[in-house]
Structure 1
Amino acid sequence: MERTADGGRVVDVARRLRRADTGGWGETALRAAVTGLGWEWRDGDAGPRLVTGLVPDGSGAGAARLRPVGRFERDYARGGQEYVGLYVPVALPDGGAAAKAAAFRAAAEALTEEFGPASVMGVYGDPGPFYDSAPFWGSPFLRWRGRDDTLELHPGQHGPELLLQPTDPVEDWFWRQGHGEAHAVGGFFGSRRDPANAGLGFPGRWRTGDWDVFAVALGDFLHTLPAETSALGIKLDFGLHALVPGTHGPVLFHLACGERLEIAYDTEPLGPGVTDPATFGWIPAASRPAALDHWIDVPYHSGDFGIGETDGARLAGMMVATLRDLGVASPKDLSLSDHAQQVGDYHVSYYGLTLEENP
């Protein structure tokens, strides 16, 4: 049985979702909208399940669903909204993270061809909207923002989903994560210069002076990054400055991640006498050259990792151990290179990295 909708069917459903009259997201209006879409509404303990026939399967994972306003959503719902999302699976790929990222990218390419580039893109990290846990394989998203309702290509646990949602609740949730507490928001968030983004707000970032807290955040950021960048069809390419005593804060590390992830470590600005990087797990380029392109010298690197191969905690541990050994006093003495926030046509904020960003 086919468990992936072809691009034409995905686009057709997306078009119909964008045209649907959600009528303020109350149940009466949504029942009428579901009927208009030709779907069957079935009530359930966790909220309505909608039989669409788009990706049928025996487990029920292919059913669409509505997200009711519950205890995690009620602070963000508006007026008479009883629901804050309609989720429609478009693929249930067998296999792990690589299959799910590939299915997401295929759907993304079809939707982009139809609607143009998404106005907003990024990675939710953990937590996601309304405090959801991130899927194991990654949490990339593409969002075509509307004034009242927004269409999103969304990361489901089983694969990509189309998500139609009222615009305000999810953006209000995101905005309110700017309270500065550790791990308030993760991942990264990118927006284009697009009239659709008028009035779009961004929360303040959280930062930490605790190496252990930073190591956890960095490890979480890295762990699923190849799946996420591959799914989005982007490449991240930036350096990390470190205020090593006796220096002016050189770029020590360079991260490159598209379909594979590799981190370079440049010891040249530090002069002689540093601890052998191999002590922390860095690989000498003399014995194994770097696999990816880097814009700094690469005497040492992390090795390269594909989807499902990255041990984020280990890589973060290597970087943090190296920085502490060099005498960097705090994660607050780290910052991103000055072009890090430009990813294609998107201006990106890296909430999961907690680092100062240099415009």
Structure 2
Amino acid sequence: MKAFLILEDKTVFEGQSIGATKEVISEIVFNTSMTGYLEVLTDPSYAGQAVVMTYPLIGNYGICREDMESKKAWPDGYIVRELSRLPSNFRSEDSIQNFLMEQDIPGIAGIDTRALTKILREKGTMNGCITTNENYDIDSIVKKLKEYKTGKVVEKVSCEETYILPGKGKKIALLDLGAKNNIAKSLNSRGCEVTVYPALTKASEIIKANPDGIMLSNGPGDPKDCESIINEIKELYHTDIPIFAICLGHQLMALATGGDTHKMKYGHRGGNHPVKDLSTGRVYISSQNHGYVVDVDKMPEGVANVSFINVNDETVEGLDYINKNIFTVQFHPEACPGPQDSSFLFDKFIKMMEGKKDA
């Protein structure tokens, strides 16, 4: 069956329909990872977006459900150059075609994803429509595309109730803003007891539980849409509890302390982004997935110091908060598979909770 991808600038790509056959309108973003397509599909940070994979062959090692980063897939749509028909992997449990159908995700294959990515890089992220309707009205669709907004998505991807991953070490409160499974696993594997809280949990409830540390997770959407969550983070900031924040959590902490964020032209999404530790000069390869960034020039003086920057564009990749046991990063130290260069940050967090000076 034919399928069409129609962009906001009236560019049209024709390919083959994959997955579900429903029509969707979404924000179109691209990911440059060569592996990890299942992790991309199950990353809650992609809620409200349709993902273009720049690597030309997707699905060649099938689906292994053990690698899923959440219970379901989150993107609105999936766009690839070529979808593998015969997965080859001893761990494979299913094909990506069946997975997309099962998860009710529509997609399109057989288009020039390189050309599409160049458009998004040159013109910036834009909305698009995936449809199997050959008699589409482009003007009508473009009007809908220009009106479409992702809206609030954090509440949709967060857990519905609190749950605990048992451990005998430090007690961590993880605020689930759309957390990937491996954040809790990374803490749990270091012996921590992890209590996962829904995104709209009151700060007073977390503080009352007397955790040794607080983790703010990744998540989807515009951080400025999370007004009520930002207010709760302000309360958490004013405690003495050590805090470690990743991605959306990093942005929300900046907003909660008087900083600002803005939308990037096309964001950082992939597994090969170099970030520089300004304290040592060392560069780490990181996994990233974000379309917004903290404005370093708008952080109030004396609140935080920049700890990491992106080597490619010098955007803020980390903040250390002055006279606080708080540090945040824009990239994903828990990413798996992918670069594990920065997994030491979880060890730094544990040392901070133990009150060690080298944390």
Same fold (TM over 0.5): no
Which entry has the higher C-alpha Rg, 1 or 2?
Answer: 1
Instruction: State the TM-score, normalized to the length of structure 2.
Output: 0.28
Between structures 1 and 2, the one with greater strand share: 2
Instruction: State the TM-score, normalized to the length of structure 1.
Output: 0.28
